[in-house]
Structure 1
């Protein structure tokens, strides 16, 4: 099984090129102000010309409106939308049609029932992202460096394309893949030296580890 990787929360050309050079299939950019990984539109426009070709560019949004999403798409030439808020299946379908881009719908998971409820999106979203539910009181819907019981994915009804996120690091990739049977991994805080600051050695280590279990 070949493992694909999304490096999320990128804010610099240097780390984006490191991710692409090490084999990342997807680069994620966060458009959510409370996040330490947030990109302003101005920063995204400045970053855009220096980004590597090849990997898909995914914009991460949390209950964003049409104008906000459209401006982000224009700023950094996004090829996917990732919806990480409380968007309903109807809203996911509308945004997908409105912006003419494929959509990843993220859902928080702590038990099998959470995965079952997510099935309402399977016929609408182009991919699902299963992330750990944020800790009580957390300000962010993801990037909290916590995981969920990965083994519950094996017994769940899953869509054709899905990503695993939550608490992933270079050291636990092999276990995560073994227990969940995921083929696409999404990492953000697990390759940082501090919140919002990506570590090139950690990015490279994560991708080496992913290739080792492929």
Structure 2
């Protein structure tokens, strides 16, 4: 079984360069207020000297206006929009029309996740289930109870889309998450050392994912 990998929260050219040489399928850039927030103008400069090696860029937004997202899409060659706030199905539809890009919806783990996923059925092109931490939208390094993962995967499969698991995934616990056979894994703080993406942590993550995929 192949696992989709998304490395998120790149905040420098060096970060992007490090992940561009990895086995990740998607590289995330955060345009919402966050310690990992980046500016479109900076990303444009980085991309002049960084080859993405076929990886797709995911732009992460939190309750941004349609016009703001559309403006950034014109500046940065995003392949996917990730809405990580309290966006409604109607807003997702507007964003898709304005950008002509697929939109993933992030939902924080709670008793209402399945109900929320069903609200976005036929609208969201994928899901990220993240930990719920008061005052934070993501990137907390805190995981949720992964025993609920199979229920989220089942609902995503019913809708015909992928479901990524985020929140506190790192080299020391990824094998536990892999037991639940997620479609994809979204990692930010788990591949960082200080404020930078760390090549060794990325290698450890990918060694364990490859071992899982090979069935060994």
Structure 1 residues 1-214: aligned runs within 5 Å = 1-33=1-33, 35-51=34-50, 52-111=52-111, 113-134=112-133, 136=134, 138=135, 140-156=136-152, 157-159=154-156, 160-179=161-180, 181-194=181-194, 196-214=195-213
- Judge conservation of contact 2:21–2:53 (CA < 8 Å) in 1: no
Greater relative CO, 1 or 2 (CA 8 Å, sep 6+): 1
Structure 1 Cα separation of the partners of residues 38 and 101 of structure 2: 20
State the TM-score, normalizing by the size of structure 2: 0.89
- How many residues are aligned here? 207
- Judge conservation of contact 2:19–2:197 (CA < 8 Å) in 1: no
* 1:18 positional shift: 2.6
* 1:70 positional shift: 2.1
The unaligned stretches of length 5 or more in structure 1 are none
The unaligned stretches of length 5 or more in structure 2 are none
Q: Which runs of 4+ in 1 moved over 4 A?
A: none
Structure 1 vs Structure 2 CA RMSD:
1.6
State the TM-score, normalizing by the size of structure 1: 0.90
Structure 2 Cα separation of the partners of residues 207 and 76 of structure 1: 27
Structure 1 Cα separation of the partners of residues 129 and 115 of structure 2: 11
